[in-house]
Structure 1
Amino acid sequence: MNSIRPTVLIIDDESKIRRLLSRSLDGFGFDVLLSASAEEAMFLLEKSKPDIIILDYMMPEVDGLTFLSEMRKRYSIPTIFLSARDEVRIKTKALELGADDYVVKPFSMEELTARIKAVLRRSRVNSEKAPEQTVHNGDLVMFPDRRMCRYKDADIKFADTEFRLLLVLNKRPGTIFTHEDLLRQVWGAEYIGELNYLRVSFSRIRKKLTEAGLAGTAIASYSGIGYYIEDLSEEVL
């Protein structure tokens, strides 16, 4: 991340929204790049390296979800999804595709700025952490420094938040982590109460573990409390 002023790429087809966000974020200490379309945004991403993307859902030709899906194939830049539609289906899909946060319009600039700073803070902390030792839980092995996971002979690719969630559980098999603990450790204290983030992420984690040959039930949830992973070293062979 830039050491002085982080750069935000705003992707929104409404010129009024772009101008408002640009002026406000500049005042909050950010450099701003503007794009009115997905095509223009891809061009900017090839020429510049923004620290974070603010992406609107409703855009002509290529909507925000489609752009996010394509962008994630090439870039891991933190992304906050904006939408005037507070629908669980859209929010869930955005998170599944790799959005780091979801903000519903209308919003205050103070809220958006706080969310931007929280996402950037997580990104910075993750990139600056000293390499961690390999974490073993039976045949499930995680390599934190390389963001790799393997079950027996199968490599499993996780999104960043999915990997960090599984890592928290895998370090202490059999221990129940509350919803609040997990949200605080992976997303930050600002996200306590965002249980849908956990539901979406653990659904994807279980699916990927199952595809690799490990029963998705290895990760269990206690309704209203939290999640834990079984001690896989005790698996019956």
Structure 2
Amino acid sequence: MTSILIIDDEENIRNLVDAYLKAEGYTINAATDGPQGLALFRRHRPDLVILDIMLPGMDGLEVLQHIRRESDAYVMMLTAKSEEADRVIGLTVGADDYLTKPFSPRELVARVKAILRRGRSPAADDEPALRFKRLQIDGQRYEVWRDGEMIEDLTTLEFKLLKTLATYPGMVLSREQLLEQVWGYDFYGEARVVDVHIGHIRQKIEYDPANPQFITTVRGVGYKFEAEPV
């Protein structure tokens, strides 16, 4: 049975989310602050975490950083703020989606279902590695190598996004195409999430992220993988 952890200091929010998700058949645990939430996460290893940004003891972004160092569980951020910066920071740290308070419980349930349908299953055993000059992408092991050195800190979502671009070298893929292939057809968030994760990938694989060689931007259209296959 799918397990979900709610970390939110507002009792009415916890009770509302708990009721709607239990009605869908999910197993729910709940925490009221950051340290308690992290402890419950380590104890129960949930499939998805619904995480408020503003928390006592340890804020949601710090909790998210701990989670990302230990697990690839899905994370949906909740925030009472509407500023772009809060959403972007959460996505950059590794959240899969965000929802701004106040929100519709039905929308939250729909987003939870959409996230859980994405799957984080490994690639097929017979999938060949993608080889380019100076870069290799191994779909079996979820590894990326540049100049013979493995890049170790790519998240699974970042790997899937990079691999999708590298599967079509020289072809421009729009944000909408990338959302469909990586996040899924029923993704409810903004196309901006693609830009955030592309920026994060560039920080990890490019020699100079400000002047990318592997992933270039085609203004008004999307992104293109530029490496030459070998």
Structure 1 and Structure 2 fold alike (TM over 0.5): yes
Displaced runs of 4 or more, over 6 A: none
Conservation of the 8 A alpha-carbon contact between 2:111 and 2:187 = no
Cα deviation, residue 193, structure 1: 7.1
Residue 130 of structure 1 aligns to a residue whose secondary structure is: coil
Q: Could you say which residue in structure 1 is the equivalent of 2:63?
A: 67
TM-score normalized with structure 1 length: 0.89
Is 1:162 equivalent to 2:158 in the alignment?
yes
**Identity of counterpart residues, as a percentage?**
34
TM-score normalized with structure 2 length: 0.91
* Aligned residue type for 2:93: L
Residue 116 of structure 1 aligns to a residue whose secondary structure is: helix
Compute the RMSD of aligned alpha carbons. 2.1
Q: Distance in 2 between matches of 1:46 and 1:143?
A: 29
Is 1:151 equivalent to 2:149 in the alignment?
no
5+ residue gaps, structure 1, are: none
Cα deviation, residue 218, structure 1: 2.6
Is 1:177 equivalent to 2:173 in the alignment?
yes
**Pair 1:202–1:91, CA change in 2 (3 A):** same
In the TM superposition, 1:181-220 aligns within 5 A as 181-191=177-187, 194-211=190-207, 216-220=212-216
Q: Could you say which residue in structure 2 is the equivalent of 1:110?
A: 106
Conservation of the 8 A alpha-carbon contact between 2:123 and 2:139 = no
Cα deviation, residue 153, structure 1: 1.9
Q: Distance in 2 between matches of 1:44 and 1:34?
A: 8
Q: Could you say which residue in structure 2 is the equivalent of 1:23?
A: 19
Is 1:127 equivalent to 2:121 in the alignment?
yes
5+ residue gaps, structure 2, are: none
Q: Distance in 1 between matches of 2:64 and 2:227?
A: 36
Cα deviation, residue 59, structure 1: 0.9
User: What do the CA deviations read for 1:96-148 (whole angstroms, capped 9, x no partner)?
Assistant: 1110111111111221111111111112xx31652322111222101112211
Q: Distance in 2 between matches of 1:46 and 1:60?
A: 19
Is 1:229 equivalent to 2:219 in the alignment?
no
Is 1:137 equivalent to 2:132 in the alignment?
yes
Q: Distance in 2 between matches of 1:199 and 1:152?
A: 25
Q: How many residues get paired?
A: 228
Conservation of the 8 A alpha-carbon contact between 2:22 and 2:28 = yes
User: What do the CA deviations read for 1:142-161 (whole angstroms, capped 9, x no partner)?
Assistant: 11122110011221131122
**Pair 1:164–1:102, CA change in 2 (3 A):** same
